[in-house]
Structure 1
Amino acid sequence: MAKTVWGRAASAMIVGVVLSLSAALPALAQNVRVTVDGTPITDLQIAARVKLFALEGNSTGSRGATEQLIDEALQIAEAKRLGVTVSNAQIDEALLQIARNMNVSQDKLVAMLQQGGVSTETLKDRLRAAIAWNAVTERAIMPEVQISDLELDQQAATQLQDFQTFDYILKEIIFVGTGSSGRSGQANNYRSKFAGCDTAVDLSLAYTDAAVVDVGRRHATQLPEPIAKELAGLNVGGITKPRVVESGVSMLAVCEKTQAQDLTFIKGDLRAEQGNQALEGEVKNYLANLRSRAKIIYN
């Protein structure tokens, strides 16, 4: 989850820096606009955040910037209450990761921000809050998210299809190299002569750059749906049609096949999906509760 929250901060910058804006922020008085449990939020902070919003294509303006800064004040205070600290090294690493994702140097990233009228400290402030809140989420919120195994079993069972009720032992035959049309022709020739897994390696020796890999045991629910459907129609000793893959052309040979219902992998996907949804809801509720208990004064 921490990566997911950080990914949102990074992706916003990746989209935003391609936009151009006017050069620099005018000098603003440090007038306090809001206090959050005694922590001040000033005109200057809000104006700086608006500039960052503009780079990202966020049109919520001063109101959106103010509310985000309030949330961040609450998040940082909660992190401090829980003993969470964010080091300067973590912030620097976060900036460096943004630059890497954009394929630019960190100095170039800083220059791009400054060209849009955004200081590095403005971005660092938001990253500090995001990293702190990630830690709060992992420490205080995630343990409270409970997913019922019984419900997962019931949902997984309704999603299981006939072609997903098999267990296989597979070998992969790969014709290595680019030029898929030529390699596909050789793969089809191999396929026409294939007589079972026991002779798969010997048969491959008649072809240039052909390899046989023991895939091992795989349940149908672990496989991409098109492959699982094709394998369901094959008997032991069968081999799939050639498919172009990154390394060349691939086929799967069925060495063993048994009827087996396994909900493990479907449940895993469901658990991740429902867990993320439940966690998102708990995170919103947690922050809303912090807001309800805070003393927020608008000036």
Structure 2
Amino acid sequence: MIFAHLRRITGALFLGLTLATAAVVPSMAATVVTVNGTPVTDVQIDQRLRLFQMEGNRTGRKGATEQLITEAIQMSEAKRLGITVSNAQVDEAFLQIARNLKLSQDRLAEMLRQSGVSKDTLKDRLRAAIAWNGVAERAVMPNVQISELDLDQTAAGRIADFQNFDYILKEVIFVAPGGQGASGRTAQANRYRSGFAGCDSAVQLSLNYTDAAVIDVGRRHATQLPEAVAKELAGMNVGGITKPRVIESGVSMLAICEKTQAEDLTFVKDEVRAEVGNDTMQKQVDDYMATLRKNAKIIYN
């Protein structure tokens, strides 16, 4: 079913889906547990359980209750920090879920209704997710620290031998718009390649061919190049030129004008920083929640 993907899609809002306890509680609802003074009722648990069933979540009533307790704690902390979520933010999140599921908002609401789930149940959950995101940004993110040494060591471990080079390159293109006539242009490129004697004569040699251009690519580190190209260049010396490759505009070759040994971690390090930052942030948010839950006043009725 389409709702088998609902938890995954809505989970992308931040660290997981959550449900606020701010919804109006029917007068006949019975309070099952009170969290920091906020009641969690049997109606809320039943609604969450129905949503779980739509999503394929099989943790049952216990899972629904525990999730609601966690979310009540999250909402309590958001309130303590003065973090509020507007209805417009919630509506936008609801719309985004509908778009991700390739549904209209009305159709999403109808599918929820057919399964006995009020759309406000999902909206309340989104409200809490947004609020908890605000808590993390305000109370956790400023304390996230990443060791530059650890980043350097991790990044260095991801650099292969063929990526430890810095180049100054020229690109030789035999124009074939849209790839039309690429085979013939490849044959010409190979003839050019066989006569190539270095970057200084690259332009002069291109004048012997129709619609051939020489472009100064400039300085590039191997990590900025496609892996296959970087591997080919690593096995060549200055004055070498790569085999022809068909691209959108025609047939391309790269010529090495300068080549030096240079371990540049910049690009790999940026990727590592994002990964480590996310992992560190997740751990600290989990620790923050564990502390809140430990200190929460939870009373089962």
Task: Give, in angstroms, the shift of residue 284 of structure 1.
Answer: 0.8
Residue 22 of structure 1 corresponds to: none
Superposed CA offset, 1:81-134 (max 9, x none): 222111111111111111222232222222222223222101101111111111
Output aligned runs, 1:95-244, within 5 Å.
95-171=94-170, 173=173, 175-177=176-178, 183=182, 186-187=185-186, 189-194=188-193, 195=196, 198-199=202-203, 206-207=210-211, 215-242=217-244
The alignment covers a number of residue pairs equal to 276
CA distance in 2: counterparts of 1:126 and 1:214, whole angstroms? 54
Could you tell me whether the CA contact under 8 Å between 2:167 and 2:222 is conserved in 1?
yes
Residue 295 of structure 2: aligned partner: 293
**Contact map agreement 2:246 2:252 (CA 8 A) in 1:** no
Alpha-carbon distance change, 218 to 290 in structure 1, aligned in 2, over 3 angstroms: same
Could you say what secondary structure the match of 2:99 adopts?
helix
Structure 1 unaligned blocks of 5 or more: 1-5, 14-26
1:50 corresponding residue in structure 2? 49
Query: What's 1:33 paired with?
Result: 32
Please tell me whether the aligned partners of residues 52 and 58 of structure 2 are also in contact (alpha carbons under 8 angstroms).
yes
* Equivalent position SS for 2:267: helix
**In structure 1, distance between residues paired with 2:121 and 2:208:** 60
Residue 282 of structure 1, CA deviation? 0.8
Equivalents in 1 of 2:183, 2:82: separation in Å? 59
Alignment pair present for 1:78 and 2:77 = yes
Root-mean-square deviation (CA), in Å? 3.3
Distance 1:280 1:12 in 2: 13
SS in 1 for 2:237: coil
- Cα contact 1:49–1:122 (8 A) shared by 2: yes
Instruction: Report the residue type matching 1:152 in the other structure.
Output: L
Q: Which amino acid aligns with 1:293?
A: N
User: For each residue in 1:41-61, what CA deviation from the matched residue of structure 2 results, as whole angstroms up to 9, or x when unmatched?
Assistant: 111111111111111111001
What is the DSSP-based 3-state SS (H/G/I as helix, E as strand, rest coil) of the residue aligned with 1:64? helix
Residues 189 and 244, structure 2, Cα contact 8 Å, conserved in 1: no
> Which of 257, 269, 284 lines up with 2:259 in the alignment?
257
Bigger radius of gyration among the two: 2
1:239/1:251 contact within 8 Å kept: no
Structure 1 segments (4+ residues) deviating >6 Å: 210-213
Is 1:89 equivalent to 2:91 in the alignment?
A: no
Which is further off, 184-193 or 80-89? 184-193
Structure 2 residues not aligned, in runs of 5+ = 1-5, 14-25
In structure 2, the residue matched to 1:10 is: 10
CA gap 1:204/1:236 in 2 versus in 1, 3 angstroms: farther
Q: Hey, what's the Cα distance between the residues in 1 that align with 2:293 and 2:243?
A: 59
C-alpha separation between the residues in 1 aligned to 2:142 and 2:7? 22
The one-letter code sitting in structure 2 at the alignment partner of 1:145 is: V
Match of 2:3 in 1: none
- Structure-1 residue corresponding to 2:278: 276
* Preserved contact between residue 48 and residue 121 of structure 2 (Cα < 8 Å): yes
Alignment correspondent of 2:19: none
By how many angstroms is 1:231 displaced? 2.0
Q: Structure 1 stretch 147-156 or stretch 87-96: which is displaced more?
A: 147-156
8 Å CA contact 2:182–2:246 kept in 1: the answer is: no
Answer whether contact 1:176 1:248 (CA < 8 A) is retained: yes
Q: Secondary structure in 1 aligned to 2:259?
A: strand
The 3 A distance-change label for structure 1 pair 38 and 28 is closer
The percent identity for this pair of structures is: 60
